[in-house]
Structure 1
Amino acid sequence: MGIVMIKCPQTGREIPTGIKADRERFRCSAVFFARTYCSICQANHEWFAKEAWVYESS
């Protein structure tokens, strides 16, 4: 299990979406649209699943 991550379009930095997912299941999931609040630039970012990835800490 890991955390779904996206890039902040304002800063280019990686931000967590707050969604926990298994990497393989997320990769095979249906395309969906979501919004995430970014604590870096204080804005809501809209994103598609294909733009995100799962980060698993070791």
Structure 2
Amino acid sequence: MGAVMIKCPRTGEAIPTGMKADRESFRRSPVFFARTFCSSCQSNHEWFAREAWVREPEEKWGLLGAAFALP
């Protein structure tokens, strides 16, 4: 499970929506509309699911990177 993220239209920063999902389930979910408070610019953003992505937990990426590290 990872955090569903959107891009702040004011700052361009990736911000969490407060939702959790795995990539495949989120990709298959019906299109929906939501609002999220942005801690980056202190305002609410309206967004559609197609504008969001799932950021996997950092530890998963650390393990994946270690698997491909050169000796």
Q: Under a length normalisation based on structure 1, what TM-score does the superposition of the two structures give? A: 0.97
1:53 lines up with 2:56 in the alignment: no
Which residue in the other structure is 1:36 paired with? 36
Q: Under a length normalisation based on structure 2, what TM-score does the superposition of the two structures give? A: 0.80
Find runs of 4+ consecutive structure 1 residues off by over 2 angstroms: none
Query: CA separation in 1, counterparts of 2:13 and 2:3?
Result: 15
- Percent identity, aligned pairs only, is 74
Q: More strand by proportion, 1 or 2?
A: 1
Give the gaps of 5 or more residues in structure 1: none
| Larger RCO (CA within 8 A; separation ≥ 6) | 1
Which residue in the other structure is 2:25 paired with? 25
Query: CA separation in 2, counterparts of 1:40 and 1:11?
Result: 7
Give the gaps of 5 or more residues in structure 2: 61-71
RMSD in angstroms over aligned alpha carbons? 0.5
